[in-house]
């Protein structure tokens, strides 16, 4: 017997369900707590960069979800965010293969 490949519909359903489940990873903090809490640093930037696509989808439907920490320490948070997003999307390594 031949093994059947999963259809495009099944793959789409799997991806959508995975994204819905992973939106639970997005950190929701009231803005008042962000201003008085310790600023987010490199590691929080890294985490927010990794979950950026998930946070973006969640932010389309829920106003309390943000992609970027309001109270951050500046350059190190930004650097972590960029590294985290690069890890998720494969960085620039794919472009060098051309």
Domain membership of residue 67 (yes or no) is yes
- State the residue for tokens 């495009």: 8
pTM of the model: 0.56
Domain of residue 85, residue span:
37-92
Weakest-pLDDT range from 7-11, 39-43, 70-74: 70-74
Domain membership of residue 4 (yes or no) is no
Domain membership of residue 97 (yes or no) is no
pLDDT of 47 strictly over 60? yes
**Total count of domains within the chain:** 1
List the Cα angle 29/60/36 in 5-degree steps. 15
Domain membership of residue 48 (yes or no) is yes
CA distance 22 to 51: 8
pLDDT digit string (tens) for 29-39?
A: 666 666 666 78
Domain membership of residue 79 (yes or no) is yes
Domain membership of residue 52 (yes or no) is yes
Structure-token pair, residue 54: 């998930």
Give the H/E segment covering residue 85: helix 75-89
């Amino acid at each position: 017997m031949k093994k059947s490949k999963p259809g495009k519909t099944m793959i789409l359903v799997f991806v959508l369900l995975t994204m819905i489940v992973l939106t639970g990873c997005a950190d929701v903090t009231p803005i008042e707590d962000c201003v008085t809490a310790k600023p987010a640093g490199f590691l929080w930037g890294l985490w927010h960069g990794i979950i950026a696509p998930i946070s973006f989808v969640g932010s389309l439907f829920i106003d309390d979800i943000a992609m970027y920490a309001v109270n951050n320490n500046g350059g190190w948070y930004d650097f972590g965010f960029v590294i985290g997003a690069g890890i998720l999307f494969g960085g620039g390594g794919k472009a060098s293969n051309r």
